[in-house]
């Protein structure tokens, strides 16, 4: 992030120029701050308010203040906990696989000299591709009618989307394919910051490749790894597109985001759906807080999102 303000010259603090600079600074950032708050804080507060009502769009007259009853209904329902478990499972699997895979990619990209451009171009294509397109590509590859995967691996007529774990497997594959490039680029930036001198010194001391990896490389890029994991975890936790396209939440593959969508848009139960949204938001906050406090993620190391 590196946004530390340059130290103000001593004595300049009270000058007209400094006051003018402050005012101008605030004026210039005001539109950005106002727009960002207007498009997120306002709807979020609105969701908080709506979540206290029993309110269906199809029955506006029946709108009724119910306090925290929506929350009690959700937290007392096993579907909510099942969706949380599904979301957490997908999040953990994808982030762990992406971290290992992404690190491998970063190592290759860090060393490669010839063909650097080709690797970079090919890795950016999954990053830039529409998630829905990725979901369709993987769905059709595993589907019974259009797919080739069963033929390739001699699986006869295995119905991948007919059962929870195999469906989750394909959902995770699509997610991993699409987002590993992002994590690998963040890790590549981290690798570039590991001092080459340390590597050389360890080599001279007779350290093996694995020793250098675990004693020199990884400890020196801890900050980059944690930031990459934090970003991807928060991103994976709001997973929606892949589930929508592949299973529509069937076979117990529904995620928390999908539950909120289904309540609000499909069932038009705005009160209950808003309560799910608020709970989703709170879980994201909780994950972020755990990372920042628990792992001491230093966000000043973040260089973009």
Residue 236 makes contact with another protein by CB under 8 A: no
- List the one residue from 96, 100, 155, 192 that touches another protein (CB under 8 A): 192
Determine if 62 is a binding residue for another protein (CB under 8 A). Answer: no
Rounded to whole angstroms, how far apart are CA atoms 3 and 300?
8
Looking at 72-80, 91-99, 102-110, 163-171, which segment touches another protein (CB under 8 A)? 102-110
Interaction of residue 238 with another protein, rule CB under 8 A: yes
30 vs 68, which CB is nearer to another protein? Answer: 30
Q: Which residue, 101 or 198, is less far from another protein as judged by CB?
A: 101
Per rule CB under 8 A, is residue 76 in the interface with another protein? Answer: no
Does 281 engage in binding with another protein (CB under 8 A)?
yes
- DSSP bridge partners of 268: none
Does the footprint of another protein cover residue 296 (CB under 8 A)?
no
Return the residue matching tokens 């999040």.
Answer: 91
Give residues 121-140 in contact with another protein (rule: CB under 8 A).
121-134, 136-138, 140
| Cβ(174)–Cβ(246) below 8 Å | yes
Q: With CB under 8 A, what is the number of residues at the site for another protein?
A: 106
- 291 forms part of the interface with another protein (CB under 8 A): no
The Cα–Cα gap between 170 and 139 comes to 7
- Asked whether 98 and 149 are in contact (CB, 8 A), the reply is no
**72 or 289: whose CB is closer to another protein?**
289
Measured from the CB of residue 51, what is the shortest distance to another protein in angstroms? Answer: 9
Q: Does 261 bind another protein (CB under 8 A)?
A: yes
- Least Å from the CB of residue 157 to another protein: 10
From the list 90-98, 115-123, 194-202, 210-218, the region that binds another protein by CB under 8 A is: 115-123
Q: Which residues are 73's β-sheet partners?
A: none
Q: Quick check: 35 binds another protein (CB under 8 A)?
A: yes
Only one of the segments 75-83, 159-167, 211-219, 228-236 lies at the binding site for another protein (rule: CB under 8 A); that segment is 228-236
Determine the Cα angle at 249 with ends 267 and 289, to 5°.
90
| Near another protein in 168-187, by CB under 8 A | 177, 181-182, 185-186
For the chain, give the secondary structure using H, E and C: CCCCCCCCCCCHHHCHHHHHHHHHHHHHHHHHHHHHHHHHHHHHHHHHHHCCEEEECCEEEEEEECCCHHHHHHHCCHHHHHHHHHHHHHHHHHHHHHHHHHHHHHHHHHHCCCCHHHHHHHHHHHHHCCHHHHHHHHHHHHCCCCCCHHHHCCCCCCCHHHCHHHHHHHHHHHHHHHHHHHHHHHHHHHHHCCCHHHHHHHHHCCCCHHHHHHHHHHHHCHHHHHHHHHHHHHHHHCCCHHHHHHCCCCCCCCCHHHHHHHHHHHCCEHHHHHHHHHHHHHHHHHHHHHHHHHCCCCHHHCCCC
Task: Report the residue number, 104 or 162, with the smaller CB distance to another protein.
Answer: 104
Q: Does 156 bind another protein (CB under 8 A)?
A: no
User: Which lies closer to another protein via its Cβ, residue 168 or residue 291?
Assistant: 291
CB of 254 to another protein, least distance (A): 12
Give yes or no for residue 197 binding another protein (CB under 8 A).
Answer: no
**193 is a site residue for another protein (CB under 8 A):** yes
Query: CB 198 → another protein: shortest distance, Å?
Result: 18
């Amino acid at each position: 992030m590196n946004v530390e303000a340059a130290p103000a010259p001593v004595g300049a603090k009270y000058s007209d120029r400094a006051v003018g600079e402050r005012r101008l600074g605030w004026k210039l950032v005001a539109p950005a701050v106002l727009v960002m708050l207007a498009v997120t804080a306002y709807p979020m507060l609105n969701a908080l308010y709506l979540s206290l009502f029993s309110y269906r769009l199809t029955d506006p007259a029946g709108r009724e203040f119910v306090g925290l009853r929506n929350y009690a209904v959700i937290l007392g329902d096993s579907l909510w906990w099942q969706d949380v478990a599904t979301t957490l499972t997908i999040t953990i699997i994808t982030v762990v696989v992406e971290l290992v895979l992404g690190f491998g990619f970063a190592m290759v990209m860090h060393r490669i000299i010839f063909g650097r451009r080709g690797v970079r171009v090919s890795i950016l294509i999954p990053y830039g591709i529409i998630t829905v397109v990725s979901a369709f590509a993987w769905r059709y590859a595993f589907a019974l009618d259009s797919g080739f995967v069963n033929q390739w691996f001699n699986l006869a007529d295995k119905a991948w989307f007919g059962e929870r774990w195999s469906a989750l497997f394909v959902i995770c594959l699509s997610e991993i394919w699409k987002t590993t490039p992002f994590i690998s680029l963040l890790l590549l930036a981290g690798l570039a910051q590991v001092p080459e001198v340390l590597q050389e010194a360890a080599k001279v001391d007779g350290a093996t490749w694995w020793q250098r990896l675990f004693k020199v490389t990884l400890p020196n890029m801890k900050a980059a790894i944690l930031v990459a994991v934090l970003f991807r975890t928060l991103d994976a936790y709001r997973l929606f597109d892949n589930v929508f396209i592949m299973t529509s939440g069937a076979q117990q593959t529904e995620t928390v985001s999908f539950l909120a969508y289904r309540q609000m848009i499909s069932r038009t139960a705005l009160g209950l759906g808003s309560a799910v949204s608020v709970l989703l938001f709170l879980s994201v906050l909780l994950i972020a807080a755990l990372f920042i406090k628990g792992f001491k993620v230093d966000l000043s190391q973040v260089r973009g999102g």
